[in-house]
Structures are given as C-alpha cells and as structure tokens.
Amino acid sequence: MDLSTVWFVAVAALFVGYFVLEGFDFGVGMLVRLFGRDDAERRQLIGTIGPVWDGNEVWLITAAGAMFAAFPGWYATLFSGFYVPMLLILLALIVRGVAFEFRGKRDDPAWRRRWDLAILCGSTVPAVLWGLTFANIVRGVPLAADHEYVGGLADLLNPFALLGGLVFLAVFLWHGAVFVALKTEGEVRVRANRLAARVGPLAAALLAGFLAWMLLDLRRTPAAAALGVAAVVAAVLAVAANRVRREGWAFTGTAAAIALAVVALFTALYPALLPSTADPAGTLTVAGAAASPYSLKVMSVVAAIFLPLVLLYQGWTYWVFRKRLGLTRS
C-alpha cells in the first residue's frame, strides 16, 4: 500500500474509535434526561462516562486533523459542502461539554433540569447528523469538476441519509443502554438491561436495512458485503447476550457492530473519498486528493511515535475507572 492508502485506513480507524467510544457517550447522554428518574440516578448515569467522555472526543479532533493534513481537498470539500450539519455538530458538542461541567455548580433542581436537557440535545443532534453525514459521503453528493459542492441543504436530506441518521441514533442509544447496564448496580442496571432488550432488536434491524441498501443499491463490493454481514451478526449476538444479562459480551457485540459497520462504509467508499453525483470528474479519490508524499512521510513518523502513547494512556484510563457505580442519594 502507498502512503495515501495507509492514511485513508488511518482516518477510517480514527472514526471507528470515535464512533465506538463516543457512541456510548451519546447514548448515555440521551438517557440522562429520558431514563434517570431523579437527580441521584442522573448523577449516576453521568458518572459512568464522567472520566472518559472528553478523552473520547479526542478521536474526532485527531480524525479531523488527519483528514486536513493527509487529504486537504477532501477536508475542504467536505467541511464546505456539509457546513450546516458540521456547524450544528460543533455547537451541540460545545453545549454538551458545558452542560457536563455546569450541571453540578448549583444545588437547584430547575438549574439541573435545564442542563440535563442540554445534555440530551447535545447528544442526540450529533448522533443524527453524523449518520446523515456519513450516509451522504457514501452515497455521493453533487460536485462540480473542480470538486466544489454545487448542491444545497435539501440534497443532504435524501431518504438514504435520513435513514443513516436514524440508524446512528438508534444504535448509539442501544450502545449507551448496554454501557449503563455494564457500569451500574441495582435498579438502574436492571432497567438499563430492559431498555437495551427493547431497543436492541430495532437498532439491529435498522442497521441491517441501512447496510443492505448501501451494498445492494449503491456500492457493492465483496469485502464491504462481508463486513456488513459481520456487523449484523455482531448486532444479533449483542441482542442475544443482553437477553441473558451478559453485559460485557453485549457491549462487545454493540462495539463490534459499530466498528464493522463503519469499516464497511469506508471499504465500500474506497478508492473514492467523496463521490460526485453531478459530474463524475468531480469525484474525489484517495490518490487525487492526497497531500504530497513528503507530508505523508512526516505524518507517518509522528503518528508512529505518539499514537501508541495515546492509546496506552486511554487504555489505562478505562482500566482505572472500570468498576461499577452504585447509587448515592444525598
């Protein structure tokens, strides 16, 4: 593989890490307001992701930085054509981060309810918009021969993209419910298992339908098809594991389903980066949009030095905070 392909794989791996880790963050954030019955339960839910949520967002920052450095044309076209959803994602993540920090600053139920609503919105909006964005990346968007986006916002709201948004929302909510069951004790754990048992089959069915649409109608490759089937199998196994209250295996299954589905999306996309539905000459490809070979070499050396350190640190963080959380009422 040449370095441009290596960095395409690296960007895909970074988004896999982001969606697997931030996915349960988003799911837990949705559940804080909808699932927590009182302030004590909501604090318990937030506590499950409190030590890790900000570290999980580093994967997105790194993925965006890698796109900018390795594929500047892809970065420019994507962030200009998808300006509205990207801006909304950024604003939602800012609101969500502020809400986590400010929620406990005042002992006032009304104050906390407002921030709980901000956490709900700041978790739901990115989940939906990331699904919409990646569905459009795989489907393709109107690009001119100079790779400029020539469509409008309505072009991004096509049926396949809307299904993608719904799939990401359902799968992340399921992933979050399984994570809550894995990380809590008592009544919250039991109820989280029940919720995951209700949401899981629907999320798995939506994921299967989305991948089938992509593989049968848009981008059919043997490797992507195999990965898509593996993602659905992982989702089904996660549903089965949750039914027998094996939270660890269920979480492994939801994480594997997300990872395999994202890899299937990137595999179906390759060697394109952003297909054009208006002019085939406008399609961005890995080879055509890559930075200079020297830039890719420097990036590869830097990544080889620092990436293992970052992974070790994040792994250590999860190990330190691996225990279940009980319910504390003040």
Predicted pLDDT of residue 327: 67
Does residue 326 carry a pLDDT above 80? no
At 270, give phi and psi (nearest 5°).
-60, 140
The whole-number pLDDT of residue 315 equals 86
pLDDT tens-place string over residues 48-76: 998 888 888 889 999 999 999 999 999 99
Q: Would you state the pLDDT for residue 330?
A: 58
Q: How far apart are CA 206 and CA 192, in angstroms?
A: 20
Give the pLDDT score at 221. 82
Structure tokens at 92: 């939602």
Q: Where are the domains of the chain?
A: 3-202+273-320
Poorest-pLDDT segment among 126-140, 233-247, 303-317:
303-317
pLDDT at 210: 95
Mean pLDDT of the 36-41 span: 87
pLDDT over 90 percentage in the chain: 72
Q: What are the DSSP calls for 254-317, one per residue?
A: HHHHHHHHHHHHHHHHTTEEE-BSS-GGG-EEHHHH---HHHHHHHHHHHHHHHHHHHHHHHHH
Q: Indicate the pTM of the whole model.
A: 0.93
| C-alpha to C-alpha distances, 268 to 5, 122, 146, 197, 285, nearest whole angstrom | 14, 30, 23, 30, 13
Q: What is the pLDDT of residue 54?
A: 85
Report the candidate in 104, 100, 14 with the shortest Cα–Cα distance to residue 54.
Answer: 100
Q: By mean pLDDT, which of 196-200, 228-232, 281-285, 304-308 is the weakest?
A: 304-308
* pLDDT bucket at 324, cuts 50 / 70 / 90: confident
Span 84-122, pLDDT tens digits: 999 999 999 999 999 999 998 888 889 999 999 999 999
- Which residue did the predictor score with more confidence, 209 or 37? 209
Among 119, 52, 18, 24, residue whose Cα is nearest residue 321 = 52
CA distance 4 to 9: 9
**Average pLDDT of the chain?**
91
If we measure between CA atoms, which residue out of 235, 229, 280 comes closest to residue 255?
A: 235
Query: Can you tell me the mean pLDDT for 265-294?
Result: 91
Residue 329: pLDDT over 70: no
User: Which structure tokens are listed for 85?
Assistant: 């959803």
Which pLDDT does position 151 carry in this prediction?
A: 87
- Residue corresponding to tokens 């504390």: 328
Q: What are the tens digits of pLDDT across the range 158-180?
A: 999 999 999 999 999 999 999 99
pLDDT over 90 (residue 308): no
